[in-house]
Structure 1
Amino acid sequence: MAEQQLRTVLEGGGFFEGPRWHEGSWWVSDIYRHTVNRVTPDGAETVVVEVEGQPSGLGWLPDGSLVVVSMKDHCVLRYADGTLSTHADLTEHCGGHLNDLVVTDAGQVFVGDFGFDLMGGGDARTASLKRIDPDGTVSVAADGLQFPNGMVVSPDGGTLVVGETLGNRYTAFDLGADGTLTNRRVWAPLGPEVTGRTTGEVLGQLTVAPDGCALDAEGHVWAADAVGGRVVRVAEGGAIVDEVAAPEGHGAFACMLGGDDGRTLLLCCAPDFYEHNRAPAREAVLLATEVDVPHAGRP
């Protein structure tokens, strides 16, 4: 595993999440500045839209409109022609803040939630993966997941892989054309089974906590390790074949492959993920490095 040189793309964030490469720029949510921002490769930042309920996962529907998670409202919002509207309200199916999402080629949106009050130190509970169909209909696609977070869809559209941040694993499903998930299986075990109940117990049992992630053309997942201060390149089966360390004093909480050739790896880094620390501070950074294998699939 070669040591990677990181360069700074942007400083002064609250907490960056949901990074995406789209139409020649990075797009990223800043949860505690309540903004979705477009960032050029050389670090020029433009606020695209404000989301008071705390923005997170980002994606684009087939018609080109932006969808963005509003975490505290439990909604996925749609932004088009300068107007922000509700694409779907998922309150009925949420046990905690809504979180990351991925959009399929057909326009289905898959989105997870925390499952419990993470910031308040509540006991850990499982959560569901929810599907929003193009007409806005909401259904539960899979349940019993331990903090479903970053997701990828294979280039052929036939497989969805989701990170279980508090489960030490990636879980895969066959993805049908209608959005149905079947053939659930562990795609990559990253540590022992998590048995803790309190937040502290669970965090203490994590080996790798897969957070925001990206798929590459060799079928590996680049994943931010929310407890390890790094991003890791994970092979199916669970082997970690490469890693990039975050700067000292920072954790890594999301990543994405992009750039014109798909080989730029963007890291979302901050000292920690706790709201009471991050909301008043402006210490989050976007960092980048180059890797050999380009982006593939979605997001």
Structure 2
Amino acid sequence: MRRLALVAAAVTLAGLTAAPASAAATGTITGLGGKCVDVVDGGTANGTRVQLWTCNGGAAQQWSARDDGSVSALGKCLDAAGTANGAVVRISDCAGTTAQRWTADAGRLVNAAAQKCLDATGVSSADGTKLQLWACSTGANQQWALPTAPPPSGGPCPQGPFGSPLPSPTLAATKIKDGFTFLEGPTWDAATQTLLLSNMRDGTGAENVQPSEILRYTLSTGAFTTFIANSGSNGLAISRDGRSIVAATHDQRTVSSYDLATKQRTTLASSYQGKRFNSPNDVTIGANGTVYFTDPDFQRADRPDQMGGKTGVFRVSGGVVTLIDDTIREPNGIELSPDGKTLYVGGNATGKVYRYPVNADGSTGARADFASLGGTDGGTVDCAGNVYQITYGDGKVHVFSPAGVALGTISAGRNATNAAFGGPDGKTLFITSGIPSTGGDNGNFGLYSIRLNVPGWPY
């Protein structure tokens, strides 16, 4: 569990005391059906109930999540009128009581006094649905997307300078859980303190396309659950506002966005100059919202080639798709440096990792070689700008300084596919690796983790 503020708090619910409430984030809280938590009729009297209502941008739907665990709107705090199932949730004068303290846990809002969750009555998303407390479950009527705090001026990374990222030049990650068919695309959701990742299955149907789902791993409980079924996803990246996942979706040969609150899918890019992509694979997102992605043909399956045999690197901004490079055979992992000025791309079939300078408008300059590394798959970067590049065949993460100096390796399983930083302090590296299926979904992939010295860049 974590306090509502996006900064982790080192206190337990049992010992909370009233603290100066500095505003950590202000905005809407959305739930079932994409509806907003709303103060009935915009009333400010103590005891005014809260409800679900179509989002309208009004003051009655603007909530401030604060460092002390309180949530306020219209100058009053979100408050529970009891601790039993069905207890009314309302607004009242802010008093620093545990009835007004809330903790975010895997998308739920847990009341400190009752240890019960904010719940939309009747599992309804109709306008006017009243909110209550109820025993916590995994139901959609207890899933909430919180307002997101703006990052500090330097972004989500702490102030440097940073030391060596690796405790030792040769490391081995620890397996968390296996038994999955083929894991890919991990990305950390700071709002829920969970890891999202794709689980791909064997191809089906006339065109032999691989189905997949997005799983959610909750670090605090160790639980794995299906977050979005039939997502068709491979690589994933959390959006800069923390409200959606951008996904390389091979099922439709597109790049998509999934709203984290409603799970609604939106297509961001479906073709280039009228031609369908091969099978978008990995994604990363710039500060201005530009999405960069690779388009190898690994998951194109038996669908026709519309790219003339070429595999490419693209960017999409404002709905416009631009080709970056179509001379890399099987480009795979793609990452941006923390300052947004360098784009890294792994050439799976070329034996190279490449870098491109990124301009202020999101466009890219001439390609240069960064490192020699065959069989590259996904990767990530840390807050010091070190590059973590996966090689599939040997199950390793190769770590390079921003200058391209090899710093060491991390072993994880047999066939590593991707990696992402996460955890409360951002210093846990999660790695997907395992044995691919030979038919009948008999693959055995696992999620691995290791603690490192430098926190990671989340995008």
TM-score, L = length of structure 2: 0.54
> What is the alpha-carbon distance in structure 2 between the residues aligned to residue 88 and residue 51 of structure 1?
19
Counterpart CA distance in 2 for 1:149 and 1:126 is 13
Instruction: Return the alpha-carbon distance in structure 2 between the equivalents of residues 227 and 119 of structure 1.
Output: 21
Q: Is residue 151 from structure 1 mapped to residue 312 from structure 2 by the alignment?
A: no
How does 1:81-96 map onto structure 2 within 5 Å?
A: 81-90=262-271, 92=274, 96=278
Residue 259 of structure 1: CA displacement? 1.4
Out of 156, 180, 189, the position equivalent to 1:22 is 189
Cα distance, 1:292–1:117 mapped onto 2, change above 3 Å: closer
Q: How does 1:130-145 map to 2 (within 5 A)?
A: 130-133=314-317, 135-145=318-328
Question: Partner letter of residue 237 of structure 2?
Answer: G
Mapped pair 1:291 → 2:452: yes
Aligned: 1:268 with 2:446: no
Instruction: Report whether the alignment pairs 1:257 with 2:421.
Output: yes
User: What's the CA shift string for 1:52-71, capped at 9, x where partnerless?
Assistant: 5x311112334522221211
Which of 331, 334, 344 is the matching residue for 1:161? 344
Q: What letter corresponds to residue 218 of structure 2 in structure 1?
A: T
Shift of 1:246: 2.5
Instruction: Supply the AA of the counterpart residue of 1:70.
Output: T
**Residues 106-121 of structure 1: matches in 2 within 5 Å?**
106-115=288-297
The CA distance in 1 between the partners of 2:368 and 2:233, in whole Å, is 30
Q: CA deviation at 1:115?
A: 4.2
Q: Which amino acid aligns with 1:96?
A: N
Question: Any idea what SS the aligned residue of 1:294 has?
Answer: coil
- 1:195-274 correspondence runs (5 A): 208-236=374-402, 238-247=404-413, 250-272=414-436
Q: Distance in 2 between matches of 1:271 and 1:294?
A: 29
Per-residue deviation, 1:102:
0.7
8 Å CA contact 2:329–2:349 kept in 1: the answer is yes
- The one-letter code matched in structure 2 to 1:107 is G
Structure that is richer in strand per residue: 1
The 5 Å alignment of 1:187-202 reads: 187-190=370-373
SS of the aligned residue for 2:326 comes to strand
Q: Which runs of 5+ in 1 are unaligned?
A: 191-207
Q: How many residues align?
A: 272
Per-residue deviation, 1:211: 1.1
Per-residue deviation, residues 190-220 of structure 1 (Å, max 9, x unmatched): 3xxxxxxxxxxxxxxxxx3221111123322
2:181–2:199 CA contact under 8 A, matched in 1: yes
Post-superposition CA distance 1:111-143 (Å, at most 9, x none): 1111477878x9xx652111111x322221222
Equivalent position of 1:202 in the other structure = none
Greater relative contact order, per chain length (Cα 8 Å cut-off, separation 6+) = 1
Could you tell me which residue of structure 1 aligns to residue 156 of structure 2? none
SS in structure 1 at match of 2:438: helix
User: Bigger CA drift: 17-26 or 74-83?
Assistant: 74-83
State the Cα deviation string for residues 1-53 of structure 1 (Å, max 9, x = none): 5553533323221111111112111111112261112211242122221235x
Give TM-score, length-normalised by structure 1: 0.81
Secondary structure at the aligned position of 1:36 is classed as: strand
Asked whether the equivalents of residues 252 and 268 of structure 1 are also in contact (C-alpha less than 8 Å), the reply is yes
Contact 1:94–1:127, Cα closer than 8 Å, also in 2:
no
**Pair 1:55-2:233 in alignment:** yes
Asked if the contact 1:174–1:182 (Cα under 8 Å) also holds between the matched residues in 2, the reply is: yes
